[in-house]
Amino acid sequence: MSDVLRDLGPVFLGSRLKRLGERMQAGAAQLLAHAGLEVQPAQMPVLIALNERTLTITQLAQAVGTSQPGVTRVVAQLSGMGLVRVKPGADQRHRAISLTPAGTAAIARAKMYVLPQMGEAVDRLLAGRSDVLLAMLTEIEDTLAETPLDQLAARTDPEILFVRDFSDELARDFHDINAEWISAMFRLEATDRHVLDNPRASILNGGGAILFVEAKGIGIIGTCALQKTSATGFELTKMGVRSSARGLKAGEFLLNAAIERAAALGADPLYLLTNSQCVAAIHLYEKLGFSHDAEIMATYGARYARCDVAMRYRGSAKAAT
């Protein structure tokens, strides 16, 4: 079975580093146990920070780079083990924390039997390149301290949807996306099958166009066609989005692209035929400038048995709601 964290690279770097840290801490715990120390690896930084000095919870949190609640929890554990003493302060943040004689002895034992071995083991693990990794980690920590990851992500390219034109390798996507939604709501009619099985002959060779919407990191998720039906008339047809990709506003993105392409083709009229069961789609069509049209219904509506709604593009989209 593949390793998801490895396969997805930098996307799950945090989770991969956490997993790596857990594996290394498991080894460190064994070393501590072999040295006769009951402390856990996560508690050691607090003990070392307290070596030969007294600190408050706030100062400890700054010294080890973790949250105050986390440090408070570790201090409580170490106090229960008799390794640190806690003197009351104005509040919990200002309590004075220092090592007990047992804590000082634990640090001395760790320095003799644990820390040197861990350092050598990590250096062997990194084939002598520990300085390089530590420098990189320092740079990452400094960058995140200045700009959190969510803010860095907000600075990246916001475009996640892209328009692609038809190519023969996308013919199967054109067929499957449309067959999925038509079969789910109605049944494939003969005119559907003819278009879906012969997109180049039925759409492109007649002067029309087939567009796709591709989602960054996912692939092709939607498609639609502009089929030329008269000297200047075009039907917006075979428009669908994969059910697994709904919620990304791919339909609206694709419809806007189709309207722009229709204008470039000189479409007059630009119309569509649908069914009243397609409530969400009809709302989208209305939002982007289509309106119900009896003339279009009379002229083209008989093409599909399921057609009971005909709409014509009027060129003035409604405000988004």
Tell me whether residue 85 is in a domain.
yes
Tell me whether residue 105 is in a domain.
yes
Going from the C-alpha of 229 to that of each of 99, 100, 180, 204, the distances in angstroms are 86, 89, 25, 12
The total domain count for the chain is 2
Tell me whether residue 182 is in a domain.
yes
Tell me whether residue 45 is in a domain.
yes
Q: Are 29 and 41 in contact (CB under 8 A)?
A: yes
pTM of the prediction?
Answer: 0.58
Residues 306 and 202 in one domain: yes
Instruction: Say yes or no to pLDDT of 176 above 50.
Output: yes
Cα–Cα distance for residue pair 190/159, rounded to 1 Å: 38
Tell me whether residue 91 is in a domain.
yes
| H/E segment holding residue 258 | helix 250-264
Residues 174 and 96 in one domain: no
Residues 299 and 181 in one domain: yes
Tell me whether residue 150 is in a domain.
no
Tell me whether residue 252 is in a domain.
yes
Residues 238 and 113 in one domain: no
Q: What is the pLDDT of residues 258-280, one digit of tens each?
A: 999 999 999 999 999 999 999 99
Q: Are 113 and 66 in contact (CB under 8 A)?
A: no
Tell me whether residue 302 is in a domain.
yes
Residues 112 and 168 in one domain: no
Residues 196 and 262 in one domain: yes
Instruction: Say yes or no to pLDDT of 317 above 50.
Output: no
Residues 179 and 93 in one domain: no
* Cβ count near 250 (within 10 Å): 22
Last residue of a domain, one of 79, 102, 125: 125
Instruction: Say yes or no to pLDDT of 321 above 50.
Output: no
Q: What is the pLDDT of residues 85-112, one digit of tens each?
A: 999 877 777 889 999 999 999 999 999 9
| H/E segment holding residue 283 | helix 279-287
Last residue of a domain, one of 101, 125, 149: 125
SS3 79: helix
Residues 60 and 199 in one domain: no
Residues 109 and 166 in one domain: no
Q: Which CATH number goes with the domain that contains 168?
A: 3.40.630.30
Residues 165 and 26 in one domain: no
Domain of 224 in residue numbering reads as: 161-313
Cα–Cα distance for residue pair 313/311, rounded to 1 Å: 7
Residues 181 and 286 in one domain: yes
Sequence letter at residue 3 = D
Look at residue 319 in the predicted model and tell me its pLDDT. Answer: 37
Q: What is the pLDDT of residues 6-46, one digit of tens each?
A: 888 888 999 999 999 999 999 999 999 999 999 999 999 99
Q: Which CATH number goes with the domain that contains 24?
A: 1.10.10.10
| pLDDT confidence bin for 160, thresholds 50/70/90 | confident
